[in-house]
A and B are shown apart, each in its own frame.
Chain A
């Protein structure tokens, strides 16, 4: 599914990722943990094609294609979905309208018929029910006036409708109370399938009680310093990051 080799990337000439190697197979859930400033969100941003990040070396193969050559919208159409750490507010634009346009772009790309408004609403309402979310989410402007929890839920809702092949959750758990965390995790778990891979970027082990990963990676100083089973996460929770060799715990941006 995804093959990252020797990835170095930064912003404004400052290097943040210093040689990432990561392989994610179809159907796998990978958790990426690490202290503040370790490069977790940068990695998520580079995968989605955020324009402010410059990739200086390394390669990313996604389903046999050179991901770095693809525009952000083409990555999205090919099934990459980023649940934003800070979902963006777009006043005046109806949530359902954006999502319908997005879904139809994806469908067009796959050579499928575009959905009309009625078909889309039926699909959207079905997903909202599965996710136990309120239908008023559809008729509000995109993230405008949403609470922190609503924004995160909206990301998961969009993900459920768009059915990505590779979902990247960037600190989706931060700022969520326990009920919201359960709803969000349910959403992710519902989408788990042998064809769909997920990368969960998180600070805390807590989320991984709900979304059980196949592999946990610890990122520090722009490198993956440890990889292993879900037990690593538990150990991190108990001992902090200090016990892992090579972890630098200074706080930077």
Chain B
């Protein structure tokens, strides 16, 4: 192995910075899944009867479903009875202010760079902090409420805004959608809810920060964002978890609904614990995310930077229902060491003159396996619809893999579908060229990788683009040779 390869290896093997555990007293229910467990979760959350019924329907369906085997990933069977489906930090009656957040938890988020005191916040970002199964804090709520924006924990939305929740939940991702969506619908704990009323441009970024802390638990959050006519919102989620030898399951559902002329921009910086360099531990990130561009001229944009998780299984998609609606998917997925990712998108064109753009950048290092899987479907009525897809893979070293599975279904004669794909390798000669100009190998690799991802990073909100670049550097530390 050349020195460059060795350095990439070192780069890739830098320690996961967020692997600490918070010592906080938790209310964790016993392991196992049954109707009783679902009733218990629902009771703990003081839910209305209709939601419990919905959960139970999902659960009954789930018991008849089988786990999908088509993703291009390998893992040992998951024992769904060995997981605890609810864990919440104790001492949490209704929180009146940030000062009541458990100091341990508050310091956890501080360590993660997410201060929960509003005066310390990044200007212009409202944060909902989800710790294991519950939301522990949501900032800037009053300020947002003044203009009619609702931003609160999902469980609270169920109590405070039941009509809105009931109207939209499950409309984009029905509980019958797939195995993990059904599981989530049965046992989901918390997540975020946002509603942007007619004509309101949300003045600040909304953000949810997910933290898994407890051992042997899964996190099953559910997020629902509705942008009413003419509304717009930009939302960002971040995720981290402690380093543990066991695998932990994260099966989330995210639903977005954009009505006429509405815009939703949803960005993810996913940094769940990826497991160690031999593939021990790490999060199974099996997530269903979908948005319906329901109204005319509506836009849904997904931007994701996926650097964490042992396994990622995720296809944020857009149902382009309204005429002239727009769907966009920008993705950077990194797999290093033994990480596996099977990720991409679904663009389902239904309305006339709908447009979609897919830019996917997969980076594989170490023994990582990276798969792009994407569906573009032009329905019969999607006349004059257009899609442009670009899938680029970058390989670092010679033990990793990149795979691309595009699915194109066109059912009318006037739509256009374009697909471009490329695979390249960071060459020794590129690294040497940079070193000859005075750059270290690490800087050279960072520069090349960031150049590769540029088209995606520029879609991220400013301050997070910088964070994403740094994260990418950390994720690939030790990967260069």
Whether the pair A90, B451 counts as a contact (CB closer than 8 A) is yes
What residues of B have a CB within 8 angstroms of the CB of A94 in the complex? 451
Instruction: Verify if A87 is at the interface (C-beta below 8 Å from B).
Output: yes
Whether the pair B432, A51 counts as a contact (CB closer than 8 A) is yes
Interface size on B, residues (CB 8 A): 26
Instruction: Verify if A206 is at the interface (C-beta below 8 Å from B).
Output: no
Question: Which residue, B2, B424, B429, B441, has most C-beta atoms of chain A within 10 A?
Answer: B429
Instruction: Verify if B434 is at the interface (C-beta below 8 Å from A).
Output: yes
Bound complex: CA of A105 vs CA of B440, how far in Å?
9
Bound complex: CA of A131 vs CA of B432, how far in Å?
26
CB contact under 8 A between A88 and B427, given known A93-B447, A93-B448, A98-B447: yes
Instruction: Verify if B95 is at the interface (C-beta below 8 Å from A).
Output: no
Which B32-47 residues sit within 8 Å CB-CB of chain A? none
Bound complex: CA of A51 vs CA of B4, how far in Å?
9
Closest beta carbon of chain B to A220's beta carbon, Å: 27
Bound complex: CA of A99 vs CA of B438, how far in Å?
10
Bound complex: CA of A232 vs CA of B436, how far in Å?
31
Instruction: Tell me which of A49, A73, A75, A82 contacts B440 (CB under 8 A).
Output: A73
Mask of A92-104 contacts with B, CB within 8 angstroms, 1/0: 1110011101110
CB contact under 8 A between A88 and B439, given known A51-B4, A93-B451, A101-B447: no
Bound complex: CA of A208 vs CA of B204, how far in Å?
64
Chain B binding surface SS class: helix
Instruction: Verify if A67 is at the interface (C-beta below 8 Å from B).
Output: no
Please name the residue on chain A nearest to B452 by beta carbon: A92
Count of inter-chain pairs, beta carbons less than 8 A: 85
What residues of B have a CB within 8 angstroms of the CB of A92 in the complex? 448, 450-454
Whether the pair A87, B448 counts as a contact (CB closer than 8 A) is no
CB contact under 8 A between A102 and B438, given known A51-B3, A90-B433, A92-B452: yes
Closest beta carbon of chain B to A59's beta carbon, Å: 21
Whether the pair B438, A158 counts as a contact (CB closer than 8 A) is no
Whether the pair B433, A88 counts as a contact (CB closer than 8 A) is yes
Bound complex: CA of A94 vs CA of B448, how far in Å?
10
Mask of A130-148 contacts with B, CB within 8 angstroms, 1/0: 0000000000010000000
Whether the pair A105, B439 counts as a contact (CB closer than 8 A) is yes
Whether the pair A72, B432 counts as a contact (CB closer than 8 A) is yes
Bound complex: CA of A106 vs CA of B375, how far in Å?
48
Whether the pair A51, B428 counts as a contact (CB closer than 8 A) is yes
Question: Which residue, B424, B432, B450, B452, has most C-beta atoms of chain A within 10 A?
Answer: B432
Whether the pair B437, A91 counts as a contact (CB closer than 8 A) is no
Given contacts A93-B448, A105-B440, A106-B438, 14 further A-B contacts (CB under 8 A): A49-B435, A73-B439, A73-B441, A76-B435, A76-B438, A87-B433, A88-B432, A90-B430, A91-B451, A98-B439, A98-B447, A102-B437, A158-B437, A162-B438
